[in-house]
Chains A and B, each alone.
Chain A
Amino acid sequence: MRREAGMSVALVALCLLLWLSNPDFLGSSNLVNLLRQLSMLGIFSIGMGFVIISGGIDLSIGSVIGLTGVLIAKVSSPNAPGLGYPLWVGILVGLGAALLVGLLQGLLITRLRLQPFIVTLGGMLLLRGVSQTIVEGGTLSLGGSPLLRLANGGVLAVDGDPLLPYPLLLFAGVALLASYVLHFTVFGRYLFALGGSREAAEYSGISVRTVETSSYVISAGLGGVAGVCYAAYIGQMSQQVGIAYEMYAIAAAVLGGCSLRGGEGTILGIVIGSAMMRVIDNGINMFQLPYVDADGVPRTWRLDPNWTFVIIGAVILLAVVLDQVFHLLHARRRLHNSSRKEGSRTAGALQGPLSKPKPES
C-alpha cells in the first residue's frame, strides 16, 4: 500500500496546485470532462492490471478499443456506410468481438506457450488493420445515434452538465467488481499466485491455463467496454481511435503500484494511477501563472502543450525511481537486521539432540 498512499498524496497535491493556479480546473465543464476521460482510461487500465498481475502483458488493448468502436459504428450507425441495425446489436457485436479476441490470444499464450508480448503485439497490429479495412481508411459517423448520450449524459445535472457522467458510474462499477474479484475471491488469489510463481501455482494444483486465459479475456472485455465509451465520446470512428492506449494503461498500472514482474498491484492503485495520468495531461492545459511583463502589462504564462509527453514520461520515471530507492533502503535495513539476528540464531545450533556435531548448509 506504500505506493498507493504516496500516489494519493501526490495526486491530491497536484490537484490542489492546479486549482490554485487556475480555478477553472475544478469548474464543472473541465471537471466533468476530466472525470469522463479518467473513467474511460481507468476501465481498460483495470483490464490491463489483471494481465500484468498475472505476470503477462496485453499490447492489443488499444486496438481492441478501436475495433469495438468501429464495429459498433459500422453495425448500428444510421448514417451512410453504417448498416443501421439497432444499437444493442452493434454493442453486442463489438463486445463479443473483444471477448473473442481476448479468448483467442489467451489460448495462443497458454496452449501453445507463446510469449504474451509477441501474441498481443501481433494482435495489436492485426486488429488495427481490421479496423482500417472496416472504415475503409475513412471515418464512420455515429451522429444521431442514441449511443452519444452514454458519454454526454449522466445524473445530477448542474448547470446543464451532469455531475456524474455515465462513464464514471460505469467505471465505479467496474472498479468495485474488479476489487472484489481480485482481492476477495479465490480467482484473484490464483492470479496473484500465478504472477508471483507460476511453478508454485501449478504445483498447488491450480489450473494455471484457465486462470491465465481468463486474465486476457477480462483485459480484452474491459477494453471492449472502454471502446463502447470512446465510440460514444468521440462520435466519429476512424482507425486512429485507441492508438497507443495500451501504453497509457501500462503506465497507469505501474504508476499505481503494479509490477511488470507480476504478482503485485491493487485495483485502488490502478484507479489512482489512471487519475494521475489524466490529471497530468489535463493539468498541462490548465496550468497557468500570472505575471507582469517588462512593459508592465499583466499576462499569463501557460505550459507549451508540446511538452506533454516529456512531462508524462518524466513523472513515470520519477515514480519508479522513487519506489526503487525506497525499496533498496528498506531491503538494506532488513538485511542489516536479519544478519544480526542470523548470527545469534546459529550460535550453539549444533548442540541439538540428534546428531554428532556437523555443519549444515
Chain B
Amino acid sequence: MTSSAPLLEMRGIGKRFVGVTALEGVSLSLQAGEVLALMGENGAGKSTLMKVLGGLHQPDSGEIRVAGQPVVLDSVARAQELGIALIHQELMLAPNLDIAANLFLGREQGPQARHSRLARYLGPLPQRRLREQSQRLLERVGLRLPASTPVARLTPGQMQLCEIAKALGQNARILIMDEPTSSLTAGESEQLFRIIAQLKAEQIGIIYISHRMDEVLALADRITVLRDARHVGDLTREQASHDQIVSLMVGRQLSGQYFPARAAPPERELGLEIEDLWVPGAPCAVSFRAYRGQILGFAGLVGSGRTELMQAIFGATRPLSGSMRLGGAPFRADSPREAIRRGVFLAPEDRKRQGLVLPMTVAENTSLPDIASYARLGWLDRRRERSVAEQEMKRLNTKASSPAQRVVNLSGGNQQKVVLGKWLAMSPRVLILDEPTRGIDVGAKAEIYRHVAALADSGVCVLMVSSDMEEILGMSDRVVVMHERRLVGVLEREELSQHRLAHLMTGGAPLEAAG
C-alpha cells in the first residue's frame, strides 16, 4: 500500500503495572493487506501491547492512530467499533451456546440499532437472521458446520476458525492473532494460513503473534521484535532469517549449539519396557523399550495417541491390557500415586492444570507429590520445604522472587521449571515430558534442554513427547513415531531425519533408503 496513512499506527506506547514496566516507547505500524508478525520472548510485552489494542488496557503514554485518525481505545466495544478484533490464545467462546450465538454475542441487534439499553436487552432476538449471517461467515472461513452446532462440540481448530469468523462479522479491518496455531492440527493450520492469505487479499491487516519461526517466516510481510518491554527491531521478510530474529529476541547471538551435546551412553541398560500395552481408544497395543541414560522421543501429530500412552504409563488412565517392566521388575501403575512411588514421573502437557496448582507457591508445588516426607507426626516442616524448593530453583535457574511466590505469577518457562523441579527433588527413574517447551520462550527452552540432557546423562530414562520437529531431532537418542494411535516406527539416532519422521508421522510406510 502506498496510501498516505497506515491502517494502524502505535507510537511511543508506554504502560506500567505496579512495579513492572510492561511497555516502554513501543511503536509499530500496520498497512492494509499486510501480515505483521510480532515476536518476542514471553514477558517481552506482546500480550500487553495487544491488550492495549483490544481496549482491555489503557496505555499510560503514546498515541494510537487508526487510518490516520488519533483514537482512544477505552473499551472492548470501542476497539470493535474501530474494526480491531483480538483473537485470544485462550479461545473466548461460550461453550454452552451455539456457533451463531457466539459469532454475534454482544452485537445481536446489528450495528445500526442504537436504542436505549433496556430496549436493546428486551427486544426479541433475531434468531433466524443471526443463523443466516453466521452461516455465511462460516463459509468464508471454510468451516462446514451448521451455525446451530454447540461450541462445546468443536475441536480447538474449529473454535479458532469461529473466532476468526466472529471478527469478520464485526467487519474487523485489523485482526490480531495470538499464537493461533498452538492448538491446531497440521491440517487446521494449513487452512488457517489459506484464510490469512485470503484476508490479506481483502485488505485486512493482520498482527500475528507466534513462537513458531517457520510459520512467521512463511507468513509475515514484516516482523517487529520486542524485548524487555521495548521495541528492538523491524525486519522485512527479505531481511529476516531464523538466526537474526532469535538474536534480536534474546539480545545475543545464540550459539549454533542450541541443543546440548550428548554423550552416547556406553552400554544400553533397560529402563522401561512396555509390552503390548493397549490404551483405551487405541486400535491396537504398543510395545517399546526405553533405556536408562537415553532420551526417547515421541513424534507424531496431535491426536496420534502419545499423550494418552504417557497417561497410561503414569497410571492416570488404566490400560485395557499389557504389561510393563521397570528396570527388569514388573511395574503396574493403577494410579499416579503408584507410579510416583516407583519413581515414574510425568510433566504433563497441560502444565497449568495438571502440572501445577496455580494459586500455590513454588515451595508448596515442589513438595506436593512427596508431601508425606516433609511431615513429622503430621506437622509440615516448612523450613525444609523452602530449602528444597530453593535448591531446585537454583539448579534450574528459575526466576521467581522467592519460594513463597505463587506460581500463577510466573512466566510459562519458569512454571515449567517448577514442574521439573518438583520431580528432580524426588530423584526420578523415569521422567516423562509431554510437550516440555510448548509456549515457552527461546531462552528458557535452551535451559530446559540443558537440564533434560544432564538428567539423561545422569542415568535417568527420559520419555519426551514433542510436536516440535527440531526438538525431537535435536534432543532424542531414539524416536518412537506414532500415527493414529499406533506405533508406526522406532528410529535410532543414526536413522533420524526430518524427512523420515514426517513420512512416518503422516502414515507413510517405513522408508528403507534414507530420504
Q: B-contacting residues of A (Cβ < 8 Å)?
A: 181, 184-190, 192-193, 195-197, 199-207, 210, 263-264, 334-336, 338-339, 342-361
Contacts and interface: CB of A to CB of B under 8 A. Distances in A.
B105 A206 contact: yes
Given A192-B96, A196-B95, A355-B190, 12 more contacts: A185-B125, A205-B80, A263-B96, A339-B303, A346-B303, A346-B484, A348-B507, A357-B499, A358-B469, A359-B186, A361-B182, A361-B468
A185 B467 contact: no
A204 B182 contact: no
A206 to B, nearest CB: 5
The interface residues of chain A, by DSSP majority, are classed as helix
From A184, A186, A201, name the one whose CB has the most chain B CB atoms within 10 angstroms: A186
A264 B96 contact: yes
Contacts of B498: 357
From A203, A207, A345, name the one whose CB has the most chain B CB atoms within 10 angstroms: A203
Contacts of A352: 186-187, 189-190, 193
B94 A360 contact: no
Nearest to B126: A186
Interface in B85-114: 86, 88, 90, 92-97, 101-102, 105-109
B75 interface: yes
A200 B102 contact: yes
The interface residues of chain B, by DSSP majority, are classed as loop
B18 interface: no
B123 A185 contact: yes
A81 B50 CA distance: 65
Nearest to B498: A357
Contact of A185 (B92, B121, B469): B121
Nearest to B301: A346
B299 interface: yes
Interface in B71-85: 75-77, 80
Contact of A359 (B97, B467, B485): B467
A338 B152 CA distance: 13
25 contacts: A181-B122, A184-B127, A186-B108, A189-B125, A193-B97, A196-B96, A197-B92, A200-B93, A200-B102, A203-B92, A204-B106, A343-B484, A346-B303, A350-B502, A350-B505, A350-B506, A352-B186, A354-B190, A355-B218, A357-B499, A358-B502, A359-B301, A360-B301, A360-B302, A361-B184
A179 to B, nearest CB: 12
B124 interface: yes
B109 A354 contact: no
A349 B94 contact: no
B512 interface: no
A200 B183 CA distance: 18
B97 A192 contact: yes
A185 B185 contact: no
Interface string B428-441: 00000001001000
A361 B183 contact: yes
Contacts of B77: 205
B106 A345 contact: no
B190 A193 contact: no
Contacts of A358: 186, 214, 469, 502
A354 B214 CA distance: 11
Nearest to A344: B484
A161 B399 CA distance: 77
Contacts of B92: 197, 199-200, 203-204
A128 B194 CA distance: 63
B510 to A, nearest CB: 16
B14 interface: no
A204 B185 CA distance: 26
Query: How many B residues are at the interface, by size bracket?
Result: 35 or more
A205 B75 contact: yes
A344 B506 CA distance: 10
A356 B484 contact: no
B94 A192 contact: yes
A189 B101 contact: yes
Given A201-B94, A347-B506, A354-B190, A190 B181 contact: no
Contacts of B194: 353-354
A335 B281 contact: yes
B42 interface: no
A199 B92 CA distance: 7
B304 interface: yes
Contacts of A206: 105-106
Given A206-B105, A358-B502, A186 B193 contact: no
Contacts of B40: none
A214 B281 CA distance: 46
Given A357-B502, A358-B469, A346 B105 contact: no
From B56, B93, B121, name the one whose CB has the most chain A CB atoms within 10 angstroms: B121
A288 B300 CA distance: 66
A263 B181 contact: no
A201 B300 CA distance: 36
Contact of B300 (A205, A263, A359): A359
Contacts of B302: 346, 360-361
A184 B125 contact: yes
A349 B186 contact: yes
B120 interface: yes
From B97, B215, B498, B502, name the one whose CB has the most chain A CB atoms within 10 angstroms: B97
Given A197-B94, A200-B92, A361-B302, A185 B122 contact: yes
A359 B468 contact: yes
B125 A188 contact: yes
Interface in B264-303: 281, 299-303
A346 B304 contact: yes
Contacts of A334: 153
Contacts of A204: 76, 92, 105-107
From A200, A351, A356, A357, name the one whose CB has the most chain B CB atoms within 10 angstroms: A200
Nearest to B90: A199
B153 to A, nearest CB: 8
B514 to A, nearest CB: 15
Nearest first, the 4 A-B pairs at minimum CB distance are A352-B190, A349-B187, A357-B502, A361-B467
A184 B108 CA distance: 12
A193 B108 CA distance: 13
Given A192-B96, A193-B97, A203-B76, A343 B469 contact: no
A353 to B, nearest CB: 7
A345 B187 contact: yes
B507 A360 contact: no
B186 A356 contact: no
Given A189-B125, A205-B80, A343 B303 contact: yes
A354 B193 contact: yes
A359 B300 CA distance: 7
Contacts of A181: 122
A181 B153 CA distance: 26
Given A355-B218, A361-B467, A263 B106 contact: no
Contacts of A263: 94-97
B80 A349 contact: no
From A188, A196, A346, A360, name the one whose CB has the most chain B CB atoms within 10 angstroms: A360
B214 A355 contact: yes
A185 B124 contact: yes
Contacts of B122: 181, 185-187
Interface string B402-419: 000000000000000000
A194 B215 CA distance: 35
Given A181-B122, A347-B507, A200 B468 contact: no
Contacts of A360: 181, 184-186, 188-189, 301-302, 467
